[in-house]
């Protein structure tokens, strides 16, 4: 049975939020990542508006997510291709071994 959602208080960019979830450590980790990204962006952005900083951080995180997803899909495709090649090679080797046993 899943644990009940609990309220977790986090602080992101000097604002307190009460979030609900089953894994407080994970939620705190996510909040810390968002806070760090917003602070990094605010140091380099020409705006101090928290909403704009949040949008820029969201775009930055979305870009990172898309890049990782693209890399994952490439790795998954390479894995599938290699697994297919190995499966074909194994099938060929088994057929050859069986043919040798029948003949020999």
Q: Are 19 and 27 in contact (CB under 8 A)?
A: yes
Band (88; pLDDT cuts 50, 70, 90) = confident
Model pTM? 0.68
Give 88 or 40, the one with higher predicted confidence.
Answer: 40
Q: How far apart are CA 7 and CA 21, in angstroms?
A: 7
Strands 6-12 and 15-21: antiparallel
Q: How far apart are CA 27 and CA 33, in angstroms?
A: 10
3-state secondary structure of 23: coil
Q: Are 12 and 31 in contact (CB under 8 A)?
A: yes
pLDDT at 99: 83
- pLDDT tens string 10-69: 999 999 999 999 999 999 999 999 999 999 999 988 877 999 999 999 999 999 999 999
pLDDT at 95: 83
């Amino acid at each position: 049975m899943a644990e009940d959602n609990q309220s977790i208080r986090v602080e992101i960019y000097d604002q307190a939020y009460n979030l609900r979830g089953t894994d407080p450590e994970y939620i705190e980790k996510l909040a810390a990542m968002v806070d760090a990204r917003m602070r990094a962006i605010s140091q380099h952005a020409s705006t101090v508006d928290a909403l704009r900083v949040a949008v820029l951080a969201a775009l930055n995180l979305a870009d990172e997510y898309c890049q990782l997803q693209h890399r994952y899909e490439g790795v998954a495709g390479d894995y599938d291709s290699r697994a297919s090649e190995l499966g074909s090679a194994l099938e060929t080797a088994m057929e050859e071994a069986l043919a040798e046993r029948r003949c020999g």
